Amino acid sequence: MDYETISVAPIAGGLGAEVGGVDLSRDLPNATIGEIRAALLEHLVIFFRDQHLTPEQHLALGRRFGALQVHDFVEAMAGYPEILEVRKEPEETRNFGGGWHTDVSYLERPSLGSLLYALEVPAYGGDTLFANQYLAYETLSPGMQRMLDGITAIHSARRPYGVNSARAQEYGPSSMRFNFSQKAHDEIEHPVVRTHGETGRKALYVNRTFTIRFKDMTEAESAPLLHYLCDHAVRPEFTCRFRWRANSLAFWDNRAVQHNAVNDYHGQRRVMHRVTIEGERPA
């Protein structure tokens, strides 16, 4: 695709592109917002360098793409209920977002995507990996595709946010505050193969963090196929890796992408702001 108001340079074969020629702090014209959205649909995750955003500007940018979500289980930034401050201090050993996942797939309407903005980053480490779920589906055998097209999966937030979750039992330091509750044990049904509402392409839609089992099956019965699909979904050739710098912003399409915040920077601080856009029910 040719772009008139922005520059777009792919960073990997599987997905991902760096976008230039735009100042996200400004009230951008509709044509530029349209091209940013087109770049997102084409590359699935897009990256912007050297941006300088106040919380108000970050929120305003997110609202250009849809209504914003408030996280049910993670305490928001003070005074800004729609911003998550993703923080890890030097004395902490566990990060937020570690492990491959699709954001909030336990909701009836999971997010369209997130805009994650870096304020402080470690001198090394703390990269984020992204994986293309169109490719994850398209590289499955025809027989596997036919079988999965008719299967429904059960998603829940209980593993990370349930009353007996591993994080709830930890007593080490945490600069983020979590709401471990019975509500996290609620379950929602989503198709294993999701059709993207804007592109019409099919994507694999299961993840290790929130997909519990297949409908009408036990967790034990579901586990072999679910483990295979989760491993397949993040094959190296489906992925890209983003090295953060301060004032960088990543915008990913949560409908067709998994991501993983690599936890390899113990003893260093990392502070990010995340704004999440509400999506539609997977179909």
**pLDDT tens track, the chain, 283 positions:** 899 999 999 999 999 999 999 999 999 999 999 999 999 999 999 999 999 999 999 999 999 999 999 999 999 999 999 999 999 999 999 999 999 999 999 999 999 999 999 999 999 999 999 999 999 999 999 999 999 999 999 999 999 999 987 666 665 678 999 999 999 999 999 999 999 999 999 999 999 999 999 999 999 999 999 999 999 999 999 999 999 999 999 999 999 999 999 999 999 999 999 999 999 999 9
Cβ-based neighbour number of residue 15 at 10 Å: 25
Tell me, what's the pLDDT at 164?
A: 82
Which stretches of the chain are DSSP H helices? 30-43, 55-63, 133-138, 142-148, 158-161, 219-232
Catalytic positions: 101, 103, 259, 274
Tell me, what's the pLDDT at 169?
A: 63
Tell me, what's the pLDDT at 174?
A: 84
Calpha distance 267→90 (Å, rounded): 4
Q: Find out whether 132 and 234 touch, Cβ atoms under 8 Å.
A: no
- State pTM to two decimals: 0.96
Tell me, what's the pLDDT at 76?
A: 96
Radius of gyration of the chain (CA): 18
Tell me, what's the pLDDT at 170?
A: 66
Q: May I ask the CATH class of domain 7-278?
A: alpha beta
Calpha distance 59→275 (Å, rounded): 7
DSSP H/E element including 227: helix 219-232
Calpha distance 17→8 (Å, rounded): 6
Tell me, what's the pLDDT at 173?
A: 73
Tell me, what's the pLDDT at 171?
A: 58
Calpha distance 180→168 (Å, rounded): 7
Size (the chain), residues? 283
Tell me, what's the pLDDT at 56?
A: 98
